[in-house]
Amino acid sequence: MLSLKLPENETQRQAALDDQELLDTPADPYLDTIVRVVRDLFSVQTVLVSLIDRDRQWFKSRLGLDVAETPRSISFCDQAIQSADTFVVNDAHVDQRFRDNELVTENPYVRFYAGQPLFSEEGQALGTLCMIDPQPRKLSPREKALFKDMATLAEGYLKLRRVSHQTEQLRDALSREQRKGMLDQLTQLWNRAGLEHFLAHEQRTAQERGAHLGILFCDLDRFKQVNDTHGHDAGDQVLWQTARRISSAVRPNDIVTRNGGEEFVVLAHVNDVRELEHIAERIRSKIGDSHFTLEQAELPLTISIGCTLIGEAETGANAMKRADRALYRAKHNGRDRVETATD
């Protein structure tokens, strides 16, 4: 098996990655879409947007793999970022570089791997778009070209994201160590600590801009039945998919968090309560309009939502309580509905 050999430009490469402010941030609905399309196009089990950090590879977007990171020392992607072209392993079982790798001999039992480096504006390899499958295969020239095109889309989006307003906010507000403590490992959303931080931050920002900060308190309906009937692994998959659906239903600068269990909270700058209710209805539709796909079942699920605007002189904590009461009313009135706080 290959030993870890760092690129000659490792110092510059790591500095470029750090400057992107990508590590230990929530999953991104646009990258999630690219990952999903690649999996469907190539009929593989796993697709990742993998970032190569100092001693780990961390997945900004993932489909088909439960863990958020693996050691860099066993990473196929570490080899891929040192390649000038698409890095392909047709069958890891017969490849002397990887046949003893624990990712090959143990779960996820990698046999086929293809990784396309993703570069910064300065030309530094940040990570890869990669696809993995437990069956050996080869890529035709047409498939390789198509895979490169998909990587170009992912790379272009990362470059655009770097100059976005939200990235500037992250630079100003949070260090990497702070972000690590605010990220929910299961859903790759901000956790409750992240919610508390951004609630105060976004309330101040809304006041400065003369806008309203809206709160959407979302709770999956009858989620306990999923765990009881299909097991906690299935429940975790539902929570992961719920996070992706909510993120894809909101706007780029809205903040999606997991408050705990099956509860999710969205913070959104809006002009009025009607705009907030429209966002809530998009979330409700995104959850309920199509079944959740698990390994052994397809589940119809719905979500109930309580929403409110934070009052001019109101604390965020008090507004959260009012949104929670509106959520309770949505549950009481039949579930799969949006209710707005009236107090």
* Element containing residue 240 per DSSP (H, E): helix 232-249
- Positive or negative, the CA dihedral 222, 68, 192, 28 is negative
Together in a domain, 143 and 195: no
For residue 7, is the peptide bond before it cis, meaning its omega torsion is within 30 degrees of 0?
Answer: no
Annotate 178-220 with three-state secondary structure. Answer: HHHHCECCCCCCECHHHHHHHHHHHHHHHHHHCCEEEEEEEEE
Cα–Cα distance, 24 to 22 (Å, whole number)? 6
Together in a domain, 133 and 197: no
CATH number at residue 124: 3.30.450.40
Together in a domain, 155 and 201: no
Phi, psi for residue 341 in degrees, rounded to 5: -60, 135
Catalytic residue among 202, 262, 277, 339: 262
103 falls within a domain: yes
pTM as predicted: 0.81
168 falls within a domain: no
pLDDT reported for residue 178: 87
CATH number at residue 303: 3.30.70.270
5 falls within a domain: no
Together in a domain, 40 and 114: yes
3 falls within a domain: no
The CB density around residue 314, as the number of other CB atoms within 10 Å, is 14
134 falls within a domain: yes
265 contacts 298 by C-beta, under 8 angstroms? no
Query: Over its length of 343 residues, how does the chain's per-residue pLDDT go in tens digits?
Result: 555 678 788 999 999 999 888 999 999 999 999 999 999 999 999 999 999 999 999 999 999 998 999 999 999 999 999 987 899 999 999 999 999 999 999 999 999 999 999 999 888 999 999 999 999 999 999 999 999 999 999 999 998 887 665 556 665 667 778 888 899 999 999 999 999 999 998 999 898 888 999 999 999 999 999 999 999 999 999 999 999 999 999 988 899 999 999 999 999 999 999 999 999 999 999 999 999 988 778 999 999 999 999 998 899 999 999 999 999 999 999 999 999 998 7
Total of domains in the chain:
2
Together in a domain, 125 and 265: no
170 falls within a domain: no
Domain span at 127: 10-163
Together in a domain, 290 and 239: yes
Choose one of 136, 163, 190: the last residue of a domain.
163
DSSP letters spanning 272-329: SHHHHHHHHHHHHHHHHSSPEE-SS-EE---EEEEEEEPPTT--HHHHHHHHHHHHHH
Q: Mark whether 262 is an active-site residue.
A: yes
**Residue keyed to tokens 């809206």:** 214
Cα–Cα distance, 267 to 29 (Å, whole number)? 16
2 falls within a domain: no
DSSP E strands: which ranges in the chain? 46-52, 56-63, 69-71, 87-89, 112-119, 125-133, 212-220, 255-260, 263-270, 292-293, 298-299, 303-309, 338-340
